[in-house]
Amino acid sequence: MAPISTPQTPFGRVLTAMVTPFTADGALDLDGAQRLAAHLVDAGNDGLIVNGTTGESPTTSDAEKDQLVRAVLEAVGDRAHIVAGIGTNDTHHSVELARAAERAGAHGLLAVTPYYNKPPQEGLFRHFTAIADATGLPVMLYDIPGRSGVPIDTETIVRLAAHPRIVANKDAKGDLGRASWAIARSGLAWYSGDDMLNLPLLSVGACGFVSVVSHVVTPELRALIDAHLSGDVQKATEVHQRLLPVFTGMFRTQGVITTKAALTLQGLPAGPLRLPLVELSPEETAQLKIDLAAGGVQL
């Protein structure tokens, strides 16, 4: 059965920005990716982002990206939204990746703000429009100025929302005021891309999460969003507060590093990292165990 979507929740409500498992020698671990994808969907995820930054997309080849999308679709594509990260700082390359993802069968695209070259707003508008024009797939923008160097301004978001295939935004801007205006004016489905702000963003109109900590706490995030949707603000707040040690611990250093460490501690597929990312030190691993335990995560 195909995953359910609505205009308000085009990719579901809880999605994990999935890590890419590697073998001990650093090769792509497709079997591990399929097992991890199945675990995450069984835990309650409506969708998975593959080939995003959390999937170490800067260090995987185009061929590996294609293989990963196909493998995850084979494993869980009939019961979860599989959204392919295709963002680069080269519009032509992003368009190529988008078309490849469509050929592979992806259900949607995640397009991050072009990073490092710091385009003006008109450049952002044309970049995202070119991606949306390139395929028939729905597109989720990804606004993360802390990494890209450039925010997508509200006026640009409103312009982009007029495109029939630009349907959502992953917000990692960390600005609830700007998010409030952009949600109200654009009508896009709004997904929190900052786990610490999951609940606050729901309160101003977000429909769900694209999460990293959901690798280890998907049921709790589902409980949070279900409580919010049912109007039980107190319960949603209680869940949010219980998860604060997890939100903090998983981002004491780069999130891919801690996520792969947490998955390894749980006996789940993860494997090593590709440079320039490096494994946690023993001291950092010990702190991660403390943080996860404080948030109720079983290791």
Binding residues for pyruvate: 54, 210
Instruction: List, by residue number, the catalytic residues.
Output: 142, 170
CB 171, CB 149: distance < 8 Å: no
Cα 291 to Cα 59, 105, 129, 250, 298: the distances in Å are 29, 38, 41, 8, 11
Rg of the chain on CA atoms, in Å: 18
**What is the Cα–Cα distance from 73 to 81, expressed in whole angstroms?**
9
Phi and psi angles of residue 50, each rounded to the nearest 5 degrees, phi first: -110, 150
Binding site: what residues are annotated?
54, 210
Phi and psi angles of residue 3, each rounded to the nearest 5 degrees, phi first: -65, 145
**What is the Cα–Cα distance from 162 to 64, expressed in whole angstroms?**
33
